[in-house]
Amino acid sequence: MQERLAAGERIVRAEVGYVTRTGETRRALATAQVLELDEEPCLLTHIVDVTERHAQERALAEREAQLRAIFDAAAEGIVVQDGTGAITLVNASAERILGRPKDDLRGRSSENTDWSASHPDGSPFPSEAHPAMVTLRTGDPQT
């Protein structure tokens, strides 16, 4: 930080590690700003402890990796849709079951007219009656 301020930067932000009196290692986000006070330069420093945020971010990343592994390894096809019905995620099993690659499925919804679904008896399944679209419209769970 000192080098950057000495080089003329007026505001510098850096994450730094420090050790407390008790010997605990912590992380802080430090912001230093050069100000002119009565025509004399002074340094305003703001420090925020971010140790807990880092721990939460690590825990979240670990949890995400676990869920991703389950998602990827599931034998069942999993298709994730956003609030408009557009497909955002597809696992390998869904690709295999639907016979379409992820890139062909992403961004599409059950309302796309260039593909269709059918009931077990072979009769057409209207897109507006697709369980995912009904759930998005009504909020009621469907099977």
Average pLDDT over the chain, rounded to an integer: 88
Answer whether 0.75 is exceeded by the pTM: no
pLDDT tens, position by position, 20-33: 999 999 999 999 88
Average pLDDT over residues 33-57: 89
SS (H, E, C) the chain: CHHHHHCCCCEEEEEEEEECCCCCEEEEEEEEEEEEECCEEEEEEEEEECHHHHHHHHHHHHHHHHHHHHHHHCCCCCEEECCCCCEEEECHHHHHHHCCCHHHHCCCCCCCCCCCEECCCCCEECHHHCHHHHHHHHCCCCC
- pLDDT > 90: percent of the chain: 51
Q: What is the pLDDT of residue 4?
A: 67
pLDDT tens, position by position, 48-66: 999 999 999 999 999 999 9
